Structure 1
Amino acid sequence: MYIEQAYKGLSDSWRYLVGLLVVFFFWQILGAFPLLAALMAKAGSLAVLGSADMGMMVDILGTNTLLFLMLLSFVIGLISLFVYVRWVHKQRIVELTTSRKKIDFKRILFAFSVWALVSTAFIVVDIVLSPEDYEFNFKLGPFVVLAIISIVMIPLQTSMEEYYMRGYMMQGLGMVAKNRWVPLTVTSLLFGIMHVFNPEVAKMGYGILIFYIGTGFFLGILTLMDEGLELALGFHAANNLTAALLVTADWTAFQTDSLYRDVSDPVLGWDVLVPVFVVYPLLLYIFSKKYKWSNWKDRLTGPVASEATFLAENNGEREL
């Protein structure tokens, strides 16, 4: 009963509405200040901020500094979310994470390992089949710095997205809608829309949103079927970490000193559709067998228990 974990704190709808706005402000507005300040200091002019695209920011700051400052906004957002949940909702972070008594780090590691292997295999196969599309980009010094930044910061970045979208927002929408399909649908669509300003969309068109929205539904299904964020946390961290370390391109959100650079002219193709319609269903099947999922309809679309019912089943106690 993951959504119902919100009842263990203060679950008034106004707390969620204010929380979404407050955390968004810290994440997207205050979190951007270090990057803006660094650009101004390096460029020596406010005018650069109005015209700076990804390529210009890389030229001004360098890839690793830019990556660190971009990821820092997510860390600021994650801290603000945890503080707000603890002090305004009086909810423990474990209850924002899972319906289990404690966070299952083995689940996080399993999902991370599975997707790191699969995504790495896809990249290796594509390099072997289309070597003309890639340039070997390895430089020891910059790559070591990239690896340190990525290993430390990217799991925090992906955790922010998961806790905000499939944690906090999913529990809040579940409290309001009193069912599971509304939070699943809304958070999945918003996850896709959230990526609309990524440079990949500008380069490949809005059709790539199929991948982002499909990924949102996949992660939402993981969360509801497994009654916790652990699998989604592991998967998302593996996805972004392998992307940052293995392959970069001038048209991606992460422009890094990775092992390879994709120099092809990207087009929408099988690499967008296969993960959503083939790979993700196979992963859901694997996870369902490993963790013995059942009752799919109720877990994904069924009602959310009332507060009175939930508290009665938990000895009438809130863990404030």
Structure 2
Amino acid sequence: MENRFLAQAYKANHSIWNYVLGIILVVIGALVFSLPYNIVVANKIAEGTADASRVEDLNYLYTLMDSNLSMFYMMLPFVGGMITLYLVIKKIHKQSWINLTTSRTKIDFKRVFFSFFFWGSMIVLLNGISYFLSPESIVWNFDAKKFAVLLLLSIILIPIQTSFEEYVFRGYLMQALGVSTRTKWMPLVVTSVIFGLLHYANPEVKELGYGIMVFYIGTGFLLGVMTLMDEGMELSLGFHAANNLISALLVTTDWTAFQTAAIFKDTSSPSLIMELVAIAILYPVLLFVFSKKYKWKSWKEKLI
């Protein structure tokens, strides 16, 4: 059985060298848009207000400027990457954006929104349970002016960031590996592992240990399975946007990659409990709900 989503690449210029060139250009596009942040940090080092030996520490960088400003600068590379990816798809691959997104004749935004609100509700519920179990560790962090700016930036920039990651991993690379290897399991495994490993530099790894990599790679597999089984990226787009957007607005900490002017602040010691609950319980529940709602069949054929 052919996976219709992977087969969308055959409708485009799918030479492996086109994909190699495309990835190089996307990386360059992201790097160009990272220059403003690097220039700001370099100026602070020159002024003596920043320690050059610590700028690789993301937690330290958050102390150098307002959290909203940091977020704006950190989101810019994803904007650059998304713009470049769009041009690569149109100019090099001659592929429609719809074919990169889904096997359906048009993007199913109902799927995007269902995934967004379903997973978003689970995040809120999980944080509610966390507060119930340890209310003293969740403190009020609301600052109306800062939160208003955060809300505006988040609504605009976070969906770009999450969509860029999805289009690169669950879209571009998955289709590229699908047509080049003529397999289904290879795109799933490779994109999931690379997606997880790219989070290696996150502060969470230092705080929680290498066990967190199981969560990152596992999340990659979840998103990959959703894409292959549903033969489109809509569900993964909604999930990823909800995960980052609601997390950024609802609860922040002093040790994660995303430190924001959120409504609440978690002051508890770093723990893997939330991630383990997600991997062991919530992700299987999510796949079960989606499989029933969208009548997924032929798991083995679509994934392997």
Check whether TM > 0.5: yes
Counterpart pick for 2:26 among 14, 20, 23? 23
Q: What are the superposed Cα offsets for residues 53-96 of structure 1, whole Å, 9 maximum, x if unpaired?
A: 33432232210000011011101101101101110000011110
Q: Indicate yes or no: 2:179 matched with 1:165.
A: no
Alignment check: 8 A CA contact 2:147 2:262 kept: yes
Q: What are the superposed Cα offsets for residues 146-198 of structure 1, whole Å, 9 maximum, x if unpaired?
A: 01101111010000100001100000001111010000000011111010110
Alignment check: 8 A CA contact 2:59 2:203 kept: no
Q: Indicate yes or no: 2:303 matched with 1:292.
A: no
How many pairs does the alignment contain?
Answer: 299
Shift of 1:42: 4.8
Q: Give the partner amino acid of 1:37.
A: I
Shift of 1:129: 1.3
Shift of 1:43: 5.1
Q: What are the superposed Cα offsets for residues 10-68 of structure 1, whole Å, 9 maximum, x if unpaired?
A: 000111112112212222x2221011122234554497555323343223221000001
Alignment check: 8 A CA contact 1:97 1:229 kept: yes
Mapped partners of 1:194, 1:54: distance in 2: 15
Alignment check: 8 A CA contact 1:192 1:212 kept: yes
Aligned to 2:104: 100
Q: What are the superposed Cα offsets for residues 101-151 of structure 1, whole Å, 9 maximum, x if unpaired?
A: 111111100000000101011011101210122221011000110011011
Q: Give the partner amino acid of 2:279.
A: V
Aligned to 1:307: none
- Structure 2 unaligned spans of 5+: none
Shift of 1:230: 0.4
Mapped partners of 1:59, 1:272: distance in 2: 26
RMSD across aligned C-alpha pairs, in angstroms? 1.4
Mapped partners of 1:255, 1:44: distance in 2: 25
Aligned to 1:37: 39
Alignment check: 8 A CA contact 1:192 1:213 kept: yes
Q: What are the superposed Cα offsets for residues 226-271 of structure 1, whole Å, 9 maximum, x if unpaired?
A: 11100000000000011100111111011100011111111333x2
- Structure 1 unaligned spans of 5+: 302-320
Aligned to 1:308: none
SS of equivalent residue, structure 1 residue 103: coil
Q: What are the superposed Cα offsets for residues 261-295 of structure 1, whole Å, 9 maximum, x if unpaired?
A: 111111333x2222112211111111111111111
Alignment check: 8 A CA contact 1:36 1:49 kept: no
Mapped partners of 1:207, 1:135: distance in 2: 27
Q: Indicate yes or no: 2:166 matched with 1:146.
A: no
Q: Structure 1 residues 278, 38: CA separation in 2 closer, same or farther (over 3 Å shift)?
A: same
- Percentage identity across aligned positions? 46
